[in-house]
Amino acid sequence: MIQAPVLVKFGGELVETPERLDAVGEALVAQAAEGPLVVVHGGGREIDAELARRGVAKQAVDGLRITDAPTLEAVVAVLAGTINTRLVAHLVSLGVKAVGLTGVDAELARATRAAAHVTAAGAAVDLGLVGEPDPAADLGLVRHLLDGGYVPVIASLGVSEADGVLNVNADTLAAHVAAGIGARELLLTGGTAGVLDGQGQTIPALTPAQAEALMQDGTASAGMIAKLRAALAAKARGVAEVAIVEGKSAAAIAERRGTRIA
């Protein structure tokens, strides 16, 4: 029986320089040597830079990108083109059998338009062309690739019959894929060593109730809210081990430096 996979999610900021790409590559080579691996990535600052180049204003709430049509064009170009190809090429150069995908492929992230996002303050914000993956989406392509010894590298896009291509938050997509393929572990990497308390210290472990409290009282904000909500969703759908960890070095990822969701 094939070992259950590990899913690692990277934000775009962790693969935008040669040094960080090397660190990510080292970490993923080590992880792939231990067993089946799936990678999900976002776009982060490179999308912001592309928006600026195109003269499109960035809009976001609680770390979620508000996506109109011009924004979506930039998101697709950066995610499916620049970043996915760069990351796959780097992994292939290191001997990893990486295969580039997006959530559009084989409807891995079949999605519906996301409902209005409710902020911690209670305001409802329309996210625009943003998708919420359907838990019933068929992830057979990912399983097929894993069975063949490949490492799927998935850019955070989705697809809707009604709306076409949709932007999907990378943490949300990672939780969706992890649950759908029966991953044994989900690692949501970021620029900090996990979830930080009010004094800037890493919180080693959080229960769902504690995570909700951090979001409500403002201790967790922006991108960390998206990570926490994704982590809680993955736990609720049966992923046994979920952690929010530092992704700046191979050692940090290997040592799981961050916060475990209990």
Of 11, 25, 43, 44, which one is the catalytic site residue? 44
Residue with tokens 């996990």: 194
Residue appearing with tokens 């969706």: 176
Out of 11, 105, 131, 227, pick the active-site residue: 227
Q: Classify residue 120 by its DSSP letter.
A: T
Cα 179 to the center of its chain, rounded Å: 13
CA 262 – CA 260 distance, rounded (Å) = 6
Q: Please confirm, yes or no, whether 227 is among the known catalytic residues.
A: yes
Any catalytic annotation for residue 97? Answer: no
Strands (E) located in the chain:
6-10, 37-41, 60-61, 64-65, 98-102, 111-113, 117-118, 124-125, 131-133, 151-155, 157-160, 164-167, 185-190, 205-206, 241-246, 258-261
Catalytic pick among 12, 131, 158, 194: 12
Instruction: State the pairing for strand pair 151-155/37-41.
Output: parallel
**Catalytic residue (one of 11, 43, 171, 190):** 171
Q: Is residue 25 annotated as a catalytic residue, yes or no?
A: no
The residues that are catalytic are 9, 12, 44, 171, 227
